Amino acid sequence: KRKRLVEIAEKYDVLIVEDDPYGDLRYEGDPIDPIFKIGGQNRVLLLRTFSKILSPGLRLGIVIGNKTIIRKMVMAKQASDLCTPSLTQRIAARYLQRHDLLAQLKPTIALYRDKRDLMLAELEKNFGDMKGFHWTKPDGGLFIWFTLPESFNTGEMLEMGKAENVLFVPGEAFSLDNTCKNSMRLSFCLPPREDIIEGVRRLKKIVVEYGKEKNIL
């Protein structure tokens, strides 16, 4: 898919902005080359962030790409906020000097892998025998993409979720053409194990309630 994307971008001569906050959070399978590596710096601008691998509060990211484009970005950034705080930049730089970031990530990755496996197991327990319900088994990142039968609208279900203290991102938020209304993004990153178990249990309750209300289950 990534190679094909680069081919298409070359054909129509457009730039690809590769937003890659999760590349280092990989739980299994071989690492996948960034599009940047395939397309090169004149075709791809690679964005990375410290938010998911060190600390979101630093508000620090990295851009790798063509010098001319980055110079323009620096000018735009100067116009908007003068400069990213040098204090947080120094904190991150010092951290990188003293620690092997990828080695430091290993326990984090083990923790997230365990939570991913737990959420997958709980989804299987609660929805495994329900027709039309399926979900991804991600090799990395922080999320599971959960798809319900087509007559479900996860945007409408959000309020019911809030009432039960269960939050998800309705699939529509990831679509440009009003599709994905029957999907939702679930995060397994922050909640402790017991909340994942309880959260999926409540999600099932919401699904059953919504399904009965709409006469679709």
Ligand X SMILES: *Cc1c(COP(=O)(O)O)cnc(C)c1O
Give dist(CA 171, CA 180) in Å, integer. 5
19 membership: H or E segment, kind and range? strand 16-19
Residue 207 Cβ vs ligand X, minimum distance, rounded to whole Å: 25
Residue 24 Cβ vs ligand X, minimum distance, rounded to whole Å: 13
The full DSSP string for 147-200 is E--TT--HHHHHHHHHHTT---EEGGGG-SSS--TTEEEEE-SSS-HHHHHHHH
Pick the binder of ligand X from 10, 19, 124, 213 (CB under 6 A). 19
Choice between 141 and 161, CB closer to ligand X: 141
Two tokens, residue 134: 């399926």
Give dist(CA 25, CA 31) in Å, integer. 10
Half-sphere exposure (Cβ direction) of 152: Cα atoms closer than 13 Å: 24
CA proximity to 188, closest of 197, 180, 179:
197
Choice between 15 and 173, CB closer to ligand X: 173
Residue 197 Cβ vs ligand X, minimum distance, rounded to whole Å: 25
Range in contact with ligand X (rule: CB under 6 A) among 8-16, 48-56, 111-119, 206-214: 48-56
Range in contact with ligand X (rule: CB under 6 A) among 32-40, 49-57, 88-96, 147-155: 49-57
H helices of 13-100, in order, are 35-39, 67-81, 86-98
41 binds ligand X (CB under 6 A): no
Residue 202 Cβ vs ligand X, minimum distance, rounded to whole Å: 24
Range in contact with ligand X (rule: CB under 6 A) among 4-12, 44-52, 95-103, 188-196: 44-52
Choice between 39 and 141, CB closer to ligand X: 141
Q: How many CB atoms lie within 10 A of CB 200?
A: 24
The length of the chain, given as a count of residues: 217
CA angle 133, 137, 139 (to 5 degrees): 165
Residue list 50-69, contact with ligand X (CB under 6 A): 51-52, 56, 61
185 binds ligand X (CB under 6 A): no
149 binds ligand X (CB under 6 A): no
Number of residues that bind ligand X (CB under 6 A): 7
Choice between 51 and 136, CB closer to ligand X: 51
88 binds ligand X (CB under 6 A): no
Residues in contact with ligand X by CB under 6 A are: 19, 21, 49, 51-52, 56, 61
